[in-house]
């Protein structure tokens, strides 16, 4: 298998008796009650999926008297569903929710709007793929958030920023005439996991997307996505009124600028009546923004919001900003910049915050901003592409990280403070490209899948998602499912151990962010240097963010901050994020900091070995093509985990002047050799940072 089918490669049920039971229960699909485009997709997907699973096409229902099948439809539009509703108490399912139940021999799928039918259809297919007993079906599902959006960092020239799976799948050159089948398959894959929006252009935006010919292209994509319940969004470059509109300012309070945005938005809605809105990166890493005119982020966002509001569109405004003032802790900046603006944004603005305060590190404490803007709806931004986690080569099941972030309780002394409770939506930076299997590394599919599932149900356990993905992707063999679940569960802790144990962060090589570079200290701006983030000397290591240091800790609610103020109560995984400590500092388990650091690096390498062993055990139980694909990537990961351990420990040993802890092998190369490695053609590159 080449992986193109993703988690939708429904397998024929092998056991003929079981298959026969399902066939008898699902002889027809009666979807005549839905009506619209999305309901039709739901019926078509059921028909397609079930014929793959059962080996026969279900009839178009309702079947003959006495036959059993699936009835799907909206409440109040079908006699069969209403018959059920007369006795069952089904609450309002809301937008996109559904109720899936077994009743008097039939499977009923009921919703209050059409997307609900679509999500219920995919759920039913997952149940049959997993051989769930239909008689036990009784599921009521509603998404936790209305906004579940993929963010593509795709440029109009076809490159993908931080993309490790080939080029952009959007062929702007040939749109709108040529509609690649991939667009349809992409929409289908997203719908199957509950994703309902996509931003198809990079946050480092190009105003060309707003030119009329490009809007026609964007419209062609929106038309493909619509039947799958997916809205199209675009990134808005703040200076577009100048670059495209020929104005001499982009000042958000200038009447000509206000009029330009209003008109542009009208042009968009004339083509795309359900256009989602804009995603904006402003005054960040060189992008233009309202600061040029002495205006705030709120003033900048509001001009776009006012243009979109009459059409029902939203502005997603990113909080990823950090200035170049010397001596400021980058950790603090988004909070310092945005908290004064709480309550100043229009109702249709959401502020999008990266999970951590710095930048998609293997492990970050969550951003304090999540608990600091009670009057502003917030989006959580996760990275699905693995910029800082081994990119296209390493197998790292990100569901574990997402689970940790979503479950973090920022107000431990009162209810309602978990990150998933503080947000109104989730965005994920896509890992999709032209690679035949979509994500380059086959296991990248698990991260796309996990993102969708968690954006729908943020309290789902990572392990459950791993097992579900494994079953949908590799088939029903329980041993295969268990093994892959185990590998995925091991993979995230492994990566943190071999890259950035004990709270180290941002020690990747610069620019491309691939491989270790903790020694780098020669870039123009302090916070682009890995060294800045740990500051190791002969005596100590770590970043003091307590009151004796940058005091970033004070940005957290008191009950949270208290625990992190003292190294003894700070969770070890975040130790060096908040504290600067002597190498001899004694950890709870009795090891010194130096010894523990060495052992963690070693453990990370061993965990990758364990993952590779588990995978080897699956030879013959998985098709040869995918088996080989994963084995080869694991071999690279193994070698690079060792590289991380060896290069980092060679460096920290030279700084601290200490011998390597017992149990950690000596680096095979000199520190100078590790420093000399270069990557002229590293993928997904951006200059400087
Ligand atoms: C950083 C990336 C950079 C992005 C930036 C962002 O290195 O390529 O443009 O984030 O999120 O992680 O805007």
What does the pLDDT read at residue 25?
Answer: 96
- Using pLDDT thresholds of 50, 70 and 90, give the confidence band for residue 328: confident
Is-same-fold flag (6-141; 498-543+580-676)? no
In the reported structure, the alpha carbon of residue 255 is separated from the centroid of ligand 1 by a whole-number distance in angstroms of 32
pLDDT value at 418 more than 50: yes
pLDDT value at 575 more than 50: yes
Q: Of all protein residues, whose CA lies closest to atom 2 belonging to ligand 1? A: 162
In the reported structure, the alpha carbon of residue 202 is separated from the centroid of ligand 1 by a whole-number distance in angstroms of 10
pLDDT value at 318 more than 60: yes
Atom number in ligand 1 closest to CA 388: 12
pLDDT value at 48 more than 60: yes
**Cα 93 from Cα 99, distance rounded (Å):** 8
| Contact (CB, 8 A) for 645 and 608 | no
At a CB cut-off of 8 Å and minimum separation 6, what does 160 contact?
152, 153, 154, 166, 167, 168, 433, 684
Residues classed as catalytic = 285, 359, 387
In the reported structure, the alpha carbon of residue 512 is separated from the centroid of ligand 1 by a whole-number distance in angstroms of 11
Task: Mark out the alpha helices in 198-296 (DSSP H runs).
Answer: 212-225, 240-243, 255-271
Q: For the chain, how big is the Rg over CA atoms in Å? A: 26
The predicted model gives 151-162 an average pLDDT of 96
At a CB cut-off of 8 Å and minimum separation 6, what does 417 contact?
371, 409, 410, 411, 557
Secondary structure, 3-state, 63-117:
CCCCCCEEEEEECCCCHHHHHHHCCCCCCCCCCCCEEEEEECCEEEEEECCHHHH
pLDDT in tens, 443-472: 999 999 999 999 999 999 999 999 999 999
pLDDT in tens, 472-497: 999 999 999 999 999 999 999 999 99
What does the pLDDT read at residue 687?
Answer: 47
Domain regions of the chain by residue span: 6-141, 147-474, 498-543+580-676
Listing DSSP states for 488-516 in one string gives HHHHHHHHHHHHSGGG--S-BPTTT--SB
User: Which residues line the pocket of ligand 1, CB cutoff 6 A?
Assistant: 161-162, 203-204, 281, 285, 320, 359-360, 387, 686
- pLDDT-above-70 percentage for the chain: 98
What does the pLDDT read at residue 685?
Answer: 61
| Contact (CB, 8 A) for 490 and 613 | no
The predicted model gives 189-199 an average pLDDT of 98
Largest alpha-carbon pair distance within the chain? 84
6-141 maps to which CATH number?
3.30.379.10
pLDDT value at 689 more than 60: no
CB atoms within 10 A of CB 342: 15
Backbone angles phi, psi at 136, to 5 degrees: -90, 0
Q: Which of 359, 360, 506 to mutate for ligand 1's pocket (most ligand atoms within 8 Å of CB)?
A: 359
The predicted model gives 244-271 an average pLDDT of 98
pLDDT in tens, 634-686: 999 999 999 999 999 999 999 999 999 999 999 999 999 999 987 767 766 65
**Cα 466 from Cα 617, distance rounded (Å):** 18
What does the pLDDT read at residue 688?
Answer: 44
Please provide the average confidence, as pLDDT, over all residues in the chain. Answer: 96
At the top level of CATH, the class of 147-474 is alpha beta
Listing DSSP states for 113-136 in one string gives SHHHHHHHHHHHHHHHHTT--GGG
What does the pLDDT read at residue 166?
Answer: 95
Listing DSSP states for 20-42 in one string gives HHHHHH-SEEE-TTT-SHHHHHH
Superfamily of domain 498-543+580-676: Alpha-glucuronidase, C-terminal domain (3.90.1330.10)
Atom number in ligand 1 closest to CA 513: 7
pLDDT in tens, 490-549: 999 999 999 999 999 999 999 899 999 999 999 888 888 999 999 999 999 999 999 999
pTM of the model: 0.98
């Amino acid at each position: 298998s080449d992986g193109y089918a993703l988690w939708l490669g429904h397998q024929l049920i092998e056991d003929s008796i079981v298959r026969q039971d399902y066939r008898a229960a699902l002889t027809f699909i009666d979807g005549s009650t839905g009506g619209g485009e999305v309901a039709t997709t739901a019926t078509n997907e059921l028909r397609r999926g079930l014929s793959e699973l059962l080996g026969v096409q279900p009839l178009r229902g309702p079947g003959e008297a006495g036959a059993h099948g699936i009835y799907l439809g909206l409440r109040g539009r079908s006699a069969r569903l209403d018959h059920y509703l007369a006795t069952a108490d089904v609450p309002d399912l809301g937008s996109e929710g559904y109720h899936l139940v077994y009743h008097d021999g039939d499977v009923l799928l009921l919703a209050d709007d059409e997307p609900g039918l679509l999500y219920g259809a995919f759920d039913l297919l997952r149940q049959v793929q997993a051989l769930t007993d239909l008689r036990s079906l009784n599921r009521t599902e509603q998404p936790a958030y209305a906004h579940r959006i993929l963010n593509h960092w795709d440029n109009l020239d076809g490159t993908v920023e931080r993309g490790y799976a080939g080029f952009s799948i959007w062929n702007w050159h040939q749109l709108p005439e040529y509609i690649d089948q991939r667009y349809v398959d992409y929409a289908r894959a997203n719908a199957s996991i509950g994703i309902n929006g996509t931003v198809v252009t990079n946050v480092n935006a190009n105003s060309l997307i707003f030119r009329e010919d490009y809007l026609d292209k964007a419209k062609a994509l929106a038309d493909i996505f619509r039947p799958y319940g997916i809205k199209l969004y675009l990134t808005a470059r703040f200076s577009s009124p100048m670059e495209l509109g020929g104005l001499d300012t982009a000042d958000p309070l200038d009447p000509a600028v206000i009029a330009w945005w209003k008109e542009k938005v009208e042009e968009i809605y004339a083509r795309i009546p359900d256009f989602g809105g804009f995603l904006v990166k402003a005054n960040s890493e060189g992008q233009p923004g309202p600061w040029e005119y002495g205006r705030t982020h709120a003033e900048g966002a509001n001009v776009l919001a006012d243009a979109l509001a009459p059409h029902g569109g939203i502005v997603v405004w990113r909080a990823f900003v950090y200035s170049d003032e010397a001596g400021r802790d980058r950790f603090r900046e988004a909070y310092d910049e945005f908290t004064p603006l709480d309550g100043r944004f229009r109702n249709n603005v959401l502020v999008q915050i990266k999970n951590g305060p710095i930048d998609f590190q293997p492990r970050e404490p969550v951003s304090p901003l999540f608990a600091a803007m009670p009057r502003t709806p917030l989006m959580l931004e996760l990275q699905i592409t693995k910029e800082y986690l081994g990119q296209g080569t390493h197998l790292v099941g990100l569901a574990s990280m997402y689970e940790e972030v979503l479950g973090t309780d920022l107000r431990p002394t009162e209810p309602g403070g978990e990150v998933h409770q503080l947000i109104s939506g989730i965005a994920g930076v896509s890992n999709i490209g032209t690679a035949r299997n979509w994500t380059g590394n086959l296991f990248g599919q698990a991260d796309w899948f996990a993102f969708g599932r968690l954006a729908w149900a943020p309290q789902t356990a990572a392990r459950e998602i791993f097992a579900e993905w494994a079953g949908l992707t590799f088939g029903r063999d329980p041993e295969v499912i268990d093994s892959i679940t185990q590998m995925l569960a091991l993979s995230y802790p492994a990566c943190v151990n071999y890259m950035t144990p004990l709270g180290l962060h941002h020690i990747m090589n610069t620019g491309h962010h691939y491989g270790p570079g903790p020694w780098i200290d020669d870039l123009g701006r302090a916070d682009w240097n890995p060294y800045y983030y740990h500051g190791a000397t002969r005596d100590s290591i770590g970043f003091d963010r307590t009151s004796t240091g940058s005091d970033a800790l004070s940005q957290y609610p008191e009950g949270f901050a208290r625990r992190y103020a003292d190294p003894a109560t700070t969770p070890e995984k975040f130790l060096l994020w908040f504290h600067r400590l002597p190498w001899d500092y004694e950890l709870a388990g009795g090891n010194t900091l130096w010894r523990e650091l060495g052992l963690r690096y070693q453990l990370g390498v061993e965990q990758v070995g364990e993952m590779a062993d588990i995978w080897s055990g699956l030879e013959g139980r998985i098709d040869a093509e995918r088996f080989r694909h994963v084995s080869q990537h694991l071999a690279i990961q193994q070698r690079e985990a060792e590289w991380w351990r060896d290069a980092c420990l060679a460096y920290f040993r030279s700084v601290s002047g200490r011998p390597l802890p017992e149990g950690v092998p000596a680096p095979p190369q000199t520190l100078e050799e590790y420093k000399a490695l270069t990557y002229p053609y590293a993928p997904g590159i951006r200059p400087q940072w």
